[in-house]
Structure 1
């Protein structure tokens, strides 16, 4: 698995050319600000070890900044070009020669041409750079609304933010499935944050890549590990029972709420996003509790005082609060594969999952569809 490993934002201009190289790839380049006999290192990203690289080939630029290197590859893979330990560029090497133009100075981009993989990578980075600009603008509006205490606008922006993220994920999934025989599809998965929610997509992608790129160790690793992302509970599944102590030490079970619609809410007193969502959950509880809606809150706090204090301060008036005070090592967190909060599931009267991570107006809309306004 890969990420965009550089802290720098790289601008990459690419094109397709060349033919089959029978496993031998040639990379030629020109460095504008040349260091005579300066090192140009081709590094291979270690499969399964994010960010770890090992040198594959080292050459030296001449007085004019020209360099050339050849490497034999046994299948498509992720590499990094290291120029003078100042500039870095992620490469996919498969069966095409590449041409490089670089400044040799920190903070500047590297131009790479020669393969469809690199062209696809440029498109991915272009989209993500534009999306990041949108996120920054959105965050400014959100922080301003929150600082001004504009609760209505905060709620509206929360809904917009979730929709914006959903749009990003859809674009990336569509792009990954549209590419043919490209490791860029694998790179795309690193920009999809909640992989448990997208397990079916990831599983389908693994089948596709295994068929299209059977000789890639990166694909082999992805295929063999995709099961890690399989959620403990999927939509339509019956939620596993939980039985944990409440603040008074009495054991409370999730199954005791069968017959009601239940929001199974994983949260903690130290979790700011959880605390920000709590007023919305309180409103929904007060509005629909008489109709058969309950909240089963599982705290991942470490101390009883922090847990109980947050319950009181946030006015969480429902009686079903449980925790074993073991943080993410909680029995409940392990059973449900929880690695980030807030996390919530909406269960029907039979205990089946009918909603996942519904917040703000999304939770309100779902409950309105069940109980009416």
Structure 2
């Protein structure tokens, strides 16, 4: 079974006299006795508990000193959890010390849980985004029902993309409003990190939600991680002034990022050994050839350790724009490049106006700004 990375989600809370969770469940129409598993975190370690359903009923009693996310797995096959091909019925939910009841008809995936305040918080959050989530689902179905001819129409597709982005923006706003209204809830902290403090975050929205958190929550590792994301976003997020840097070309010529001011610049982080980067390079070449006469250029920054392989890849892929080798990896560290390809689109003043544009998204963005 794939290891689930849940340990990061826990943090110390104020002392609680109760340090156990009693979870009783009833799956009303379940046929036969089945194995059921509960995955959660105890301390800093992942914990797997298991039991059997008897006439659809089961019970877990586990040590639990802090709120957590958990996963309940019901194996309808009756086989061991790791048996290949065993169908898993999964329910993801929040737990905390206390007594809880879980009810379901025939599938834990559609279960309901009661008895825990954290479950009520999550239900309230889900309700706050219910209409938006329904709108997203309907939009997806609407697009899927289009004919191939309709999907080939650029204006029509752009309309769907705009509606999709609007739904996502509304959803993020709803989550931020929930966090502000529930500053002490673990659900708020979890959603802040998972739904808002993400790549291409809305900095203003995340700061608003983070600042609303209770002092206790702000002491948690996950809140500290969000704070670090905010620091980085202020440096490399959309609207930030791109940090200047200097490196050398293959010929040993020192080039500064600031020397490109006055142009739109795509700062493209890549490497010769990066498969996805090499697959993306034809799109970057197309973008450069299309817009190079419209005040646009590309600045490649390679994190290669082999100069020869870097130079060879530049030639093979036809990357004719300025290329720098990040010999010390200092540029990558400053821009928090933990995976590639990554890129930043700068306006003529050196301000970041978009990032992580790939495929058609890159070409669409350039078409938008380079009219």
TM-score (norm 2): 0.65
Q: Deviations over 1:32-60 (max 9, x none)?
A: 1242xx6544432367x8xx7314x6555
- SS across alignment from 1:33: coil
- Number of residue pairs matched? 319
After TM superposition, give the deviation of residue 78 of structure 1 in Å: 1.8
Deviation readout 1:214-238 (Å, 9 max, x if unpaired): 3x69x81211222442234345544
Q: Is the 8 A contact 2:268 2:343 kept in 1?
A: yes
CA distance in 2, matches of 1:331, 1:355: 23
Distance in structure 2 (CA, Å) of the matches to 1:175 and 1:297:
37
SS in 2 for 1:80: strand
Quick one: distance in 1 between partners of 2:340 and 2:198? 10
Match of 1:248, SS state, is: coil
User: Which residue in 2 is equivalent to 1:101?
Assistant: 103
Return closer, same or farther for 1:104/1:174 CA change in 2, 3 Å cut-off: closer
2:286, 2:345 → 1: CA distance?
17
Flag the 1:137–1:253 CA change in 2: closer, same or farther, 3 A: farther
- Of the two structures, which has the highest relative contact order with CA contacts closer than 8 Å and spacing of 6 or more? 1
Structure 1 residues 88, 100: closer, same or farther in 2, change over 3 A? same
Change in CA separation of 1:132 and 1:266 when aligned onto 2, cut-off 3 Å? farther
Q: CA deviation at 1:243?
A: 2.0
Q: What residue in structure 1 maps to residue 210 of structure 2?
A: 206
Shift of 1:111: 1.0
Q: How does 1:18-29 map to 2 (within 5 A)?
A: 25-29=21-25
- What residue in structure 2 maps to residue 285 of structure 1? 292
Once the two structures are superposed, the pairs formed by residues 80-99 of structure 1 within 5 Å of their partners are 80-83=71-74, 85=81, 86-94=88-96, 97-99=99-101
SS, match of residue 109 in structure 2: coil
Match of 1:311 in 2: 318
Decide whether aligned partners of structure 1 residues 127 and 236 sit closer, same or farther in structure 2, where only a CA change above 3 A counts. Answer: closer
CA distance in 2, matches of 1:198, 1:266: 22
Q: Is the partner of 1:337 in helix, strand or coil?
A: coil
Instruction: Report if aligned partners of 1:159, 1:362 keep a CA contact under 8 Å in 2.
Output: no
Q: After TM superposition, which residue ranges in structure 1, 4 or more long, deviate above 6 angstroms? A: 124-130, 135-142
Give how far 1:304 is off: 1.6
Three-state SS of the structure 2 residue aligned to 1:177 is: helix
Which of 25, 37, 43 is residue 39 of structure 2 equivalent to?
A: 43
2:97 is the alignment partner of 1:111 = no
Q: 1:46 to 1:22 in 2, by over 3 A?
A: closer
Aligned mates of 1:77, 1:340 — CA distance in 2: 32
Contact 1:33 1:65 in 2 (8 A): yes
* RMSD of Structure 2 on Structure 1 (CA): 4.6
Q: Which runs of structure 2 are paired with 1:173-322 in the superposition (5 Å)?
A: 173-179=173-179, 180=182, 181-188=184-191, 189-191=193-195, 194-195=198-199, 197-211=201-215, 214=216, 220-229=220-229, 230-231=232-233, 232-235=235-238, 237-258=240-261, 260-268=262-270, 270=275, 271=277, 272-288=279-295, 294-300=297-303, 303-312=310-319, 316=320, 318=321, 320-322=322-324
Unaligned runs of 5+ in 1: 7-20, 369-373
Instruction: For residue 310 of structure 1, report the CA deviation from its aligned partner.
Output: 2.0
| CA 5–237 in structure 1, closer or farther in 2 if over 3 Å, else same | closer
1:125-166 Cα deviation digits (max 9, x unpaired)? 996698578669869989x79xx9x7x84x985785477346
Specify the SS of the correspondent of 1:287.
coil
Q: Deviations over 1:312-366 (max 9, x none)?
A: 5xxx4x5x33234x7xx844322211234341231444x4x15123733433433
Residues 26 and 56, structure 2, Cα contact 8 Å, conserved in 1 = yes
The answer to whether the 8 Å contact 2:200/2:238 transfers is no
Gaps of 5+ in 2: 7-16, 76-80, 82-87
1:266–1:341 Cα contact (<8 Å) kept: yes
Instruction: Give the equivalent residue in structure 2 for 1:54.
Output: 47
Equivalent residue of 2:70, what SS? strand
Q: In the superposition, relative to structure 1, how do residues 141 and 286 fare at CA in structure 2: closer, same or farther (>3 Å)?
A: farther
CA offset at residue 266 of structure 1? 0.9
Question: 2:38, 2:178 → 1: CA distance?
Answer: 29
Deviations 1:187-245 (A, max 9, x none): 4443558436445544443343335xx3x69x812112224422343455443222223
SS at match of 1:109: helix
